[in-house]
Amino acid sequence: AGKDIWFSGLTPDAVCVVWGGNDDNLAIPGHNVTGGGVMAKIWRQFMEAYYKLRPAPPGAFLEPSRGKSGGGDTPESEASDS
């Protein structure tokens, strides 16, 4: 039996990881207790509450800017011409 169950998920603008387990390092009771079965439900509830407080348009993924220097996260306005 497992001692920890995890679920991680992402949306275009957020990453969330949910953990379940015991502080005393004991096995989690039950059969077929998995992150995808148990923790995924908690993840979904949390993300639904999150998006009620912080709405984001569907598919709102911000592409990293690529300055003239080719640096991954340097805004074009800060990129040097050298």
- Inter-CA distances, 44 with 11, 18, 23, 50, Å: 11, 10, 24, 10
User: What DSSP element (H or E) covers 4?
Assistant: strand 4-11
pLDDT tens, N- to C-terminus, the chain (82 residues): 688 999 999 988 889 999 999 888 888 888 888 888 889 999 999 999 998 998 876 666 666 777 765 555 444 444 444 4
Query: In sequence order, which ranges of 2-81 are alpha helices (DSSP H)?
Result: 40-53
Q: What is the pTM of this model?
A: 0.63
Q: What is the pLDDT of residue 6?
A: 93
Q: Cα(55)–Cα(58) distance, rounded to whole angstroms?
A: 9
